[in-house]
């Protein structure tokens, strides 16, 4: 809730700054605001586009909001992209009578300067003082330690660690309370599983009932902060209580429309560029243009996935593997020169439009794994097969967190992100994934 509140606070402040920029541009250019009404409607659409551009460039990722050169660099980039979009909008949209020309550039300059000032003030004042929730952790576990460290390093998230209550253990960097009655004022208490039946703690929380305090389980708070499902929470009961698949049927069917739109858009890029990339792949190394192999899809079924080949052919079957199936590694020396480019731009995924049209894949979902890896991971992780409740995707929540998952521990973490998506999937989360994926493609951050 606090995370969303901070995002909407930032968004509201940004819109105010952009409108102030428009007002200032009119005054500076014309000395009056008599033309405000004529440009207000088209500029409002452009301001909404500015919000989308800022989201794509990562300016609404609250976990990374700091007064650093990176933030100001992203603002400059967003401003430039927005002005270019405005030029295209006004000069190529014949239905729009207003063509503010200089007003557009001045609005971008003044508006984004106001945004930079607003965000600096926000980071220094609002995010670290006013919009802050005081948190107490009841019970010390590896997960509570992880969250405490995470929040201490990110004060801009709006959580202040009051301390930890644990009758036995202590934790450095934060105050420790052995008696719940000694805990000062707090807004949220996060209770570890082993203390959920502690009667002394329960009675003390009951006394705090009328202070409007909030009590959350460690599993719920961990998921909210870390955006993944903690492994200690996984059980048959958790899946039955949280994966409400019957309530997602309408959404899953409506998502098919998005999939076909995405596949058509991918086709518009794929077919005109195919001769270029086909030639480059052939010139970069010997072997086929496309690479295909089996992956595990929805309900555990197998399907053939298609990609542009990005690695050298090292085996008679056209693969880059000489000692059996293996994960791709960061800075993998099997990747060709052109392969590096099509990977960072995600162009290698374009042929998967075929899988979308066949109904085997979706635009957004857990990335499909090879059957050999699935068999091994299922043996080590009893709940791994649950990720096959939904169609695999071209992009997904886990892929946005990191590029490579090459070990068992890393794939366990990937499963935590996949389960978070399966549980919380919906239009808003899908939109966030699409915009962040665009950020990765434009920033050449693919794997």
187 and 249 together in one domain: no
Residue 176 pairs with which residues in a beta bridge?
A: 164
Please compute the mean of the pLDDT values over residues 391-399 and round it to a whole number: 93
Cβ distance 105 to 83 under 8 Å? yes
Under a CB-based contact definition with an 8 Å cutoff, are residues 313 and 285 in contact? yes
Distance CA(162)–CA(289), nearest Å, equals 58
Shared domain check, 151 and 43: no
Residue 382: pLDDT band (50, 70, 90) is: confident
Does position 117 have pLDDT exceeding 50, yes or no? yes
CB of 308 within 8 A of CB of 289? Answer: yes
Which of 130, 162, 186 delimits the end of a domain? Answer: 130
Q: Is 447 within a domain?
A: no
Q: Average pLDDT for residues 124-135, to the nearest whole number?
A: 72
Percent of the chain at pLDDT exceeding 90: 31
For residues 188 and 148, membership in a common domain is answered with yes
Provide mean pLDDT across the span 247-260.
Answer: 88
Q: Residue 43's domain spans which residues?
A: 2-130
Does residue 426 sit within a domain?
Answer: yes
State residue 98's pLDDT score. 47
User: CA-CA distance, 87 to 159, in Å (whole number)?
Assistant: 42
Are both 150 and 294 inside the same structural domain? no
302 falls within a domain: yes
Give the CA distances from residue 174 to residues 34, 129, 137, 222, 389, in Å, rounded to whole numbers and listed in that order: 58, 18, 10, 18, 41
Sequence-ordered list of residues with C-beta below 8 angstroms from that of 142, at least 6 positions apart, any chain: none
| Whole-number pLDDT of residue 72 | 86
DSSP-derived 3-state class of residue 362? strand
What is the residue whose two structure tokens read 């080949």?
A: 309
Last residue of a domain, one of 192, 226, 260: 226
Q: Are 300 and 388 in contact (CB under 8 A)?
A: yes
pLDDT at 318: 61
Examine residue 374 and state whether it is found in any structural domain, yes or no: yes
Quick one: tokens of 362? 């979706």
Instruction: Compare 198 and 220 and report the one with higher pLDDT.
Output: 220
Beta bridge partners of 294: 304
Residue 220 has pLDDT above 80, yes or no: yes
Beta strands (DSSP E) in 158-250 are 159-165, 176-177, 188-191, 214-217
Residue 131 pLDDT more than 90? Answer: no
- At residue 330, the pLDDT reads 66
Output DSSP code: residue 128: I
195 shares a domain with 97: no
Residues 258, 363: contact at Cβ < 8 Å? yes
Q: How many CB atoms lie within 10 A of CB 27?
A: 13
Most confident of 24-38, 232-246, 319-333, 416-430: 416-430
User: What average pLDDT does range 96-124 have in this prediction?
Assistant: 81
* Residue 221 and residue 280 share a domain: no
pLDDT bracket for residue 203 (50, 70, 90)? confident
CATH of the domain at 196: 3.40.50.720
Examine residue 238 and state whether it is found in any structural domain, yes or no.
Answer: no
pLDDT at residue 17, as a whole number: 95
pLDDT number for residue 301: 93
Same domain, yes or no: 116 and 137: no
- The predicted-structure confidence for 170-184, as pLDDT tens digits, reads as follows 788 788 887 777 778
Averaging pLDDT over each range in 153-157, 240-244, 259-263, which range is the top one? 259-263
What are 329-366's pLDDT values in tens digits? 667 778 888 888 998 889 999 999 999 999 999 999 99
Backbone angles phi and psi of 138, in degrees to 5: -100, 105
> Is 398 a domain residue?
yes
Same domain, 41 and 153: no
How far is 340 from 308, CA to CA, in rounded Å?
A: 12
In a domain? residue 232: no
Q: What is the pLDDT of residue 222?
A: 94
**Cβ–Cβ < 8 Å for 139, 196:** no
What is the number of structural domains in the chain?
3
What is the reported pLDDT for 447? Answer: 64
Q: Where are the beta strands (DSSP E) in 73-172?
A: 133-138, 159-165
DSSP bridge partners of 408: none
Residue 302: band (very low, low, confident or very high) from pLDDT cuts 50, 70, 90: very high
Taking each helix axis from N to C terminus, what angle separates 249-284 and 427-442, rounded to the nearest 10 degrees?
Answer: 10
C-alpha span between 280 and 94 (Å, rounded): 39
Same domain, 140 and 121: no
For residues 195 and 124, state if they share a domain: no
Look up the pTM and report it. Answer: 0.82
Q: Which of 179, 195, 226 is the last residue of a domain?
A: 226
Residue 384 and residue 298 share a domain: yes
Quick check: is 71 in a domain?
Answer: yes
Run of H or E residues at 304:
strand 302-308
For residue 264, name the pLDDT band (cuts at 50, 70, 90): very high
Task: Determine if residue 234 is left, alpha or beta; phi over 0 gives left, psi from -120 to 50 gives alpha, anything else beta.
Answer: beta
pLDDT computed for residue 42 by the predictor: 84
**Confidence bin at 97 (pLDDT 50/70/90):** very low
SS3 195: helix
Q: Which of 382, 403, 282 is nearest to 337 (CA)?
A: 282
Same domain, 347 and 323: yes
Q: How many other β-carbons are positioned within 10 Å of the β-carbon of residue 288? A: 12
- Mean pLDDT across the chain, nearest whole number? 84
Cβ contact 98:90 at 8 Å:
yes
pLDDT of 75-84, one tens digit each?
998 999 998 8
Judged by DSSP in three states, 308 sits in: strand
Question: Who contacts 398 (Cβ-Cβ below 8 Å, separation ≥6)?
Answer: 366, 367, 405, 414, 417, 418, 421
Q: Is the pLDDT of residue 248 over 60?
A: yes
pLDDT at 322: 63
**pLDDT for 96:** 47
Residue 304 confidence class, pLDDT cut points 50, 70, 90 = very high
């Amino acid at each position: 809730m606090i995370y969303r509140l901070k995002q909407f606070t930032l968004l509201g402040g940004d819109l105010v700054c952009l409108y102030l920029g428009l007002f200032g541009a009119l005054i500076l250019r014309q000395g009056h605001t008599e033309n405000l009404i004529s440009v207000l409607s088209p500029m409002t659409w452009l301001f909404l586009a500015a919000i989308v551009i800022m989201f794509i460039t990562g300016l609404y990722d609250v976990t990374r909001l700091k007064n650093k050169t990176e933030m100001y660099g992203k603002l400059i980039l967003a401003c430039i992209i927005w002005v270019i979009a405005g030029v295209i909008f006004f000069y190529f949209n014949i239905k729009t009578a207003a063509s503010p020309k200089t007003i557009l550039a001045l609005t971008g300059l003044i508006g984004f300067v106001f945004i930079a000032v607003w965000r600096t003030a926000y980071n220094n004042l609002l995010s670290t003082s006013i919009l802050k929730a005081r948190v107490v952790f009841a019970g010390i576990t590896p997960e509570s330690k992880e969250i405490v460290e995470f929040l201490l390093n990110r004060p801009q998230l709006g959580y202040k660690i009051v301390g930890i209550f644990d009758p036995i253990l202590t934790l450095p960097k934060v105050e420790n309370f052995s008696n719940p009655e000694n805990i000062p004022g707090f807004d949220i208490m996060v209770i570890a599983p082993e203390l959920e039946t502690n009667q002394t703690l329960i009675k003390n929380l009951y006394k705090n009932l009328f202070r409007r305090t909030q009590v959350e389980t460690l599993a719920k708070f961990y998921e909210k902060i870390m955006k993944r499902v903690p492994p200690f929470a996984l059980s048959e009961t958790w899946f039955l209580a949280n994966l409400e698949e019957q309530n997602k049927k309408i959404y899953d069917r409506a998502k098919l429309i998005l999939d076909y739109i995405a596949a058509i858009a991918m086709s518009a890029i794929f077919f005109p560029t195919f001769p270029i990339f086909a030639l480059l792949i052939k010139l970069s190394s010997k072997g086929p243009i496309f690479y295909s192999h089996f992956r595990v899809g929805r309900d555990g079924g197998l399907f053939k996935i298609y990609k542009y080949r990005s690695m050298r052919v090292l085996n008679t079957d056209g693969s880059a593997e000489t000692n059996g199936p293996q994960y791709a590694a960061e800075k993998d020396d099997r990747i060709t020169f052109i392969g590096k480019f099509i990977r960072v731009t995600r162009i290698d995924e374009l042929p998967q439009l075929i899988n979308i049209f066949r109904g085997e894949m979706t635009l957004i979902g857990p990335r499909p794994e090879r059957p050999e890896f699935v068999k091994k991971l299922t043996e080590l992780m009893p709940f791994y097969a649950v990720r096959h409740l939904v169609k695999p995707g071209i992009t997904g929540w886990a892929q946005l967190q990191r590029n490579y998952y090459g070990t068992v521990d890393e794939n366990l973490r990937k499963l935590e992100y996949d389960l978070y998506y399966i549980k919380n999937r919906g239009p808003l989360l899908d939109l966030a994934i699409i915009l962040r994926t665009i950020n990765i493609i434009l920033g050449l951050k693919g794997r």
